[in-house]
Structure 1
Amino acid sequence: MRTILTLLTYCTILSTSVLAQKLEVTYQEVVKVNPDEFKSSINFSSNGKSSSIPKDVYDNMIKDMQEPKDFLLTVFDNETTYKKIEKIDNQQHSGGMRISISFGDSGSGLYKNLSSKEYYKSVKLMDKSYTIKDQLKDYKWQLSRETKKILGFDVRKATSIVDSTTTATAWYTPNIPVKDGPGMYDGLPGLILEVEIKNTKNKGIESNIMRAIEVKEMPNLKPLEKPKDKNIISDNEYKTLMEKQMERFKQMRSEGIDKKD
C-alpha cells in the first residue's frame, strides 16, 4: 500500500511539473582535469625565464579546479536567472595562488527572456562593470532516441557542435516544458537537467559537466529582475574589449622584461 501511495505521489509531482512555470533548479558543476596535460600547458615566467610551480601550489590549483560548484536556475514563466551559489571557504591555500575555472558562464548574474530570445549578463573587466545584452545562441541541437533518468525524470539526449572546438551533450526532460538549462545552454523541448561540454582549446581540461541535483516548484516565487541597463555592450563588443586587454597585458609584460634586461 505504501509503495502504491509513493508511486501516486510521484506521478502527481510529474503531472504538476508539466504545468509548472515557477521553479528553482540547483545544478552542480564539475570540471574533469588531466593533471599532467594541464601542467604541461601552463607557462609561468619571470624576467623572461621559465619557472616551475611548487608541487604544493600546483596540487592546490588542481584541487580547486575540480571542487564542485553549485548554481541556481530560477524560472518564472518565460524568464529565468542563473547565478552561482557562493560558499564560505575556510581552507588555506599555499602560495596564495588559487585558480577557479567554470563553464557555467553566469558572470555575476545571467538573465534570459525565452520569449524575446534576449539575455543580459553582468560581467567585470578590469574593475569596470558591464552588462552584456544580446540574442540567445541557436545551438541547432541534434535530438537522439537515447534516454536515461536524472532525479527520477525521464531525460533524452541531444548534441550540438557549438563551434570548431566545442561540443555539448545535453539531457533534457519533456516533463518540464521549460526551454532552458544551466548557463547559456537552452533551446530544447524541455528543461536541460545535464550538459557536458568538451573544448579542445582548454588543454588538460577533459570536460565540464553541469548536472541538476534538485528541482523544486516555487508557487510563491516573485517576478524576476533583469540586470540594470548600465554600460550596455554586445557580446562581440565584450570579446573585443577582452582581446584589447590581453594585448595590453602582453605589451606591459614585454616592456617590463626589456627594462630589466
Structure 2
Amino acid sequence: MKLSVLKFALLLGVLAVSSLSFSQDFQGKAYYQSKTTMDMDDWGGREMSPDRKKQIMERMKSFLEKEYILTFTQAESIYKEEEKLEAPGGGRGFGGFGSSMTGGPKYKNVKTKEVIQDQEFFGKQFLIKDDLTNLEWKMGTETKKIGQYTCFKATATKEVDKLDWRSMRRRGRDNDKTDGKKDATKTNDSIKSGDEANGDPMSEIEVPKTIEVVAWYTPQIPVNQGPDDFWGLPGLILEVNADRTTILCTKIVLNPEDKETIEKPEKGDQVTQEEYNEIITKKMEEMREMYGGRGGRGGRGRN
C-alpha cells in the first residue's frame, strides 16, 4: 500500500513538472509523413502491364506521399507542407486540379474554434475560413509507443468533404468486402451526378459520406492539437488513419530555440468551404462541357 501511495505521489510530481513546462509561451514542432494509397485497378489499371503501373505510381508518388510540419502552441497551430524540389512532371496527378487538391498552410485556433486554409486554384488565391468542428471521439484504453511517447487510441466517424480526392473511388468498387454493397450508395451525390452519355469522367467517381478515423494521441504533450483537420484529444495526435490516408509523426521538437510566429493566412478571397466547393464544381462543369463536348461530337460521328 505504501509503495502504491509513493508511486501515485511521484506521478503527481511528474505531471506537475510537465504542466509547468507547457507554459503560455510554449511552442512545439511536429513533423509528419502523409501517405495515401491508390488502387490502380480501380482506375483502369487492370489492363496495364506491371511496368506501366509502376511507372505511373512513381510519377504519382510526390502527390500521394508528402511531408508536413505542425507548429503549435496551446491555442494555435499552423500545418504546412515541407518545401522541397519537385521532379519535372511529377506530383501533378490530376492535371490542373492538382493544386486545388493539395492545399496550402492550414491555421487552427482551438480556443476561438477558427480554421483558415490558404488555397490556390487555377492561379487564384483563396482563404477558406470556417468554424472549427470537433469529432466525437470515442476514447479507448489501447496503447502503443510512437518514438518515445506512449499513445492512446481514439476513434471517430468523420464526414467527408465531397471534393476530398483522398477518398474518391470508382463507383461500385469498395475496398470493404463485407459492407461494400450497403455502403456504396452512401456517397456524396454532387460527385456522382453527371451526364454519363456525354462522357463526364466525374460520373464514375463517388465519395463516401463518412469514414472511420483511428487516432493515436499522447498525454505526455498535453495540447489538443493535431495534423490537418484533426484535434480535440487530451494530447498531441501523433498518428491518424483515415480511409486510405495515414499521417504519422516522425519527429517532435519542444520549445525550439528559434520560435516561429504563428500567423493567420491573410492573402486571398475569403470564402467558406461550401463556397469554395461550388467554385471548383463550376470549373469542373466548364471543363466537362469543353472536353466532353468534343467527345460527344466525336462519338456521334462514329455512330
Q: Quote the RMSD (CA, aligned, Å).
A: 3.0
For normalisation by structure 2, the TM-score amounts to 0.66
Q: What is the aligned partner in structure 2 of residue 202 from structure 1?
A: none
Distance 1:180 1:107, change over 3 A: same
Q: Secondary structure at the match of 1:185?
A: coil
Distance 1:154 1:18, change over 3 A: farther
> Is the contact between residue 61 and residue 91 of structure 2 (CA under 8 Å) also seen in structure 1?
no
Of structures 1 and 2, the larger Rg is shown by 2
Q: Secondary structure at the match of 1:33?
A: coil
Kindly indicate which of the two structures has a greater share of residues assigned to strand. 1
Structure 1, residues 103-146: CA drift from partner, whole Å, max 9, x if none? xx861111111110101101122221110010112211111111
Q: What is the aligned partner in structure 1 of residue 152 from structure 2?
A: 156
Structure 2 gaps of 5+ residues are: 1-13, 160-208
Q: Secondary structure at the match of 1:172?
A: strand
Which amino acid is 2:86 matched to? D
Which amino acid is 2:67 matched to? D
Q: Does residue 141 of structure 2 align to residue 138 of structure 1? A: no
Q: What is the aligned partner in structure 1 of residue 274 from structure 2?
A: 236
Q: Distance in 2 between matches of 1:60 and 1:184?
A: 32
Query: Which residue of 82, 86, 90 corresponds with 1:89?
Result: 86
Q: Distance in 1 between matches of 2:151 and 2:20?
A: 14
Q: 1 or 2 for the larger relative contact order (CA 8 Å, sep ≥6)?
A: 1
Q: What is the aligned partner in structure 2 of residue 78 from structure 1?
A: 75
Structure 1, residues 137-173: CA drift from partner, whole Å, max 9, x if none? 2211111111001011010001111023322110001
Q: What is the aligned partner in structure 2 of residue 19 from structure 1?
A: 22
Q: Does residue 207 of structure 2 align to residue 211 of structure 1? A: no
Structure 1, residues 190-248: CA drift from partner, whole Å, max 9, x if none? 100000111xxxxxxxx211000000012541321110153100111111112222222
Which amino acid is 2:265 matched to? P
Q: Distance in 2 between matches of 1:173 and 1:148?
A: 10
Q: Secondary structure at the match of 2:241?
A: strand
Alignment of structure 1 residues 99-248 onto 2, 5 Å: 99=93, 107-163=103-159, 164-198=209-243, 207-217=244-254, 218-228=256-266, 230-248=268-286
Q: Secondary structure at the match of 2:245?
A: strand
Shift of residue 189 of structure 1? 1.0
Which amino acid is 1:252 matched to? M
Q: What is the aligned partner in structure 1 of residue 37 from structure 2?
A: 32
Structure 1 gaps of 5+ residues are: 1-10, 42-51, 199-206
Distance 1:25 1:69, change over 3 A: same
Q: Secondary structure at the match of 1:256?
A: helix
Give the length in aligned residue pairs. 227
Q: Distance in 2 between matches of 1:97 and 1:27?
A: 18
> Is the contact between residue 18 and residue 177 of structure 1 (CA under 8 Å) also seen in structure 2?
no
Kindly indicate which of the two structures has a greater share of residues assigned to helix. 2
Q: What is the aligned partner in structure 2 of residue 6 from structure 1?
A: none
Q: Distance in 2 between matches of 1:33 and 1:185?
A: 22
Q: Distance in 2 between matches of 1:16 and 1:54?
A: 57
> Is the contact between residue 31 and residue 69 of structure 2 (CA under 8 Å) also seen in structure 1?
yes
Shift of residue 39 of structure 1? 3.7
Q: Which moved more, 1:189-198 or 1:163-172?
A: 163-172
Q: What is the aligned partner in structure 1 of residue 11 from structure 2?
A: none
Distance 1:236 1:176, change over 3 A: same
Q: What is the aligned partner in structure 1 of residue 186 from structure 2?
A: none
| Identity within the alignment, % | 29
Q: Distance in 1 between matches of 2:49 and 2:263?
A: 45
Q: Secondary structure at the match of 2:72?
A: strand
